[in-house]
């Protein structure tokens, strides 16, 4: 069965370019030209990955992303933002809301395909019943079910947040540099944008830690990276 990609972009030539190249790479492609139709189509077809333009008519790509991340049927679907915006704050906003990646227009099809392959490869990594359950303090990460629990409460993480937590727990006590995390989680040259790691770590902390107590898990090692003991 082919991997299904949903393209949501109002520029017809971009949609046609993506559709042609993705189909040439053996993906099944669906598309929509505005955010409302895109969200409805995502609900209908449940794609394996969504390419989402930032600037859309009727409803912005960021608002579509918010709806996707709030939808129990779609919140684990990987999303790559396509955007002409290149300001750091715009990128940070998308990452904090739950985008798994972003690429700035105009983009290289080769680079985009590499990013898609990396994300899908990580999504499709299979574990079996009885595989290791990673724990620290009150946190439990079930690799088979791809679930995270804080006590008895299930915590919803994006794919990148889950992979970050998993990697830190697999290396308990070790300091992992930002560049190492970029390489292992994103899987390609990210042009030294280590801020991407900081944004995901900050959002992960909000979900798994409690600022009102001493329940802290991720330690920042100044000038180096992060670790979990």
Helix, coil or strand: residue 213? coil
In this model, does residue 100 exceed pLDDT 90?
Answer: no
Res 213: pLDDT: 59
- Residue intervals of the chain classified under CATH 3.40.50.2300 are 4-123
Q: Shortest CA distance to 199 belongs to which of 224, 171, 164? A: 164
Residue 1's pLDDT is 67
Tell me what pLDDT residue 85 has. 67
* CA 10 vs CA 35, 65, 82, 177: distances in Å: 9, 16, 11, 39
What is the arithmetic mean of pLDDT over 52-73?
91
Please list, in sequence order, all residues whose beta carbon lies within 8 angstroms of the beta carbon of residue 156, skipping any fewer than 6 positions away: 75, 207
Q: Which CATH number describes the domain made up of 4-123?
A: 3.40.50.2300
Q: What percent of the chain has pLDDT over 90?
A: 41
- The answer to whether domain 133-228 has CATH 2.60.120.40 is no
Band the pLDDT of 169: cuts 50, 70, 90: very high
Q: Are 5 and 51 in contact (CB under 8 A)?
A: yes
* pTM for the whole structure: 0.65
Q: What is the pLDDT of residue 37?
A: 95
- The mean predicted confidence, pLDDT, of the chain is 86
3-state secondary structure 46-111: CCCEEEEECCCCCCCHHHHHHHHHHCCCCCCCCEEEEECCCCHHHHHHHHHHCCCEEEECCCCHHH
Predicted pLDDT at 40: 95
Comma-separated ranges of CATH 1.10.10.10 domains in the chain: 133-228
What pLDDT does 8 receive? Answer: 97
Rounded-to-integer distance, Cα 224 and Cα 41, Å: 43
DSSP β-bridge partners for residue 218:
228
């Amino acid at each position: 069965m082919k991997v299904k990609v949903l393209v949501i972009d109002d520029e017809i030539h971009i949609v046609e370019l993506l559709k042609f190249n993705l189909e040439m790479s053996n993906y099944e492609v669906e598309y929509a030209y505005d955010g409302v139709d895109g969200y409805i189509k995502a609900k209908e077809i449940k794609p394996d990955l969504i390419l989402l333009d930032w600037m859309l008519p009727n409803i912005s790509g960021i608002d579509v992303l918010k709806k996707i991340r709030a939808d129990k049927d779609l919140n684990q679907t990987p999303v790559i933002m396509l955007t002409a915006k290149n300001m750091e704050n715009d990128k940070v906003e998308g990452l904090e809301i739950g985008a798994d990646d972003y690429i700035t227009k105009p983009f290289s099809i080769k680079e985009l395909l590499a990013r898609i392959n990396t994300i899908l490869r990580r999504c499709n990594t299979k574990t079996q019943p009885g595989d290791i359950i990673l724990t620290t303090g009150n946190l439990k990460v079930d690799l088979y079910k791809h679930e995270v629990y804080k006590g008895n409460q299930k915590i919803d993480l994006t794919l990148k947040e889950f992979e970050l937590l998993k990697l830190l727990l697999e290396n308990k006590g070790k300091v992992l540099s930002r560049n190492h995390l970029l390489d292992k989680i994103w899987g390609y040259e990210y042009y030294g944008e280590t801020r991407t790691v900081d944004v995901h770590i900050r959002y992960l902390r909000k979900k798994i830690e409690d600022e009102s107590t001493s329940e802290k898990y991720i330690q920042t090692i100044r000038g180096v990276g992060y670790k979990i003991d």
